[in-house]
Amino acid sequence: MKKQRQNKTKRRRITFSFNAPKAGKVYLAGEFNNWDPAKHPMNSDGKGLWTKTVMLEPGIYDYKFLADDNWMLDTKNDHSRLNCYGTLNSLITVSP
């Protein structure tokens, strides 16, 4: 019997960062976590830079940051698209 090859997609480690020196709390939310900011609270370096590393499968994902209850685009990312609320979401492409 021939052993079948499994087509496994490799998840990649992706680090998001957001500069918000005055923010008390920042969360990462997007299609990869069903827009649930509680799933990915970001970590502060104490100087205003917030980061979060997540494991994502290859694909294109919409996302935003939630800084003190305000939805924010990723200002370091020029890729965005219109969402169903008439505002923009940032986009990230994860390569295979």
Please state the domain count of the chain.
Answer: 1
Tens digit of pLDDT for each residue in 53-66?
999 999 999 999 99
Residue 38 within any structural domain of the chain? yes
Residue 32 within any structural domain of the chain? yes
20: tokens are 């918000």
Residue 21 within any structural domain of the chain? yes
- pLDDT at 75 exceeding the cut of 90: yes
Mean pLDDT for the chain? 93
Residues 96, 86: Cα–Cα separation, whole Å = 30
pTM exceeds 0.85: yes
What average pLDDT does range 67-72 have in this prediction?
97
Residue 23 within any structural domain of the chain? yes
**For position 81, what pLDDT does the model report?**
97
User: C-alpha distances in angstroms, 66 versus 7, 23, 42, 76?
Assistant: 35, 10, 10, 15
- pLDDT at 6 exceeding the cut of 60: no
Tens digit of pLDDT for each residue in 17-37?
999 999 999 999 999 999 999
Domain that holds residue 19: 12-94
Q: Are 56 and 94 in contact (CB under 8 A)?
A: yes
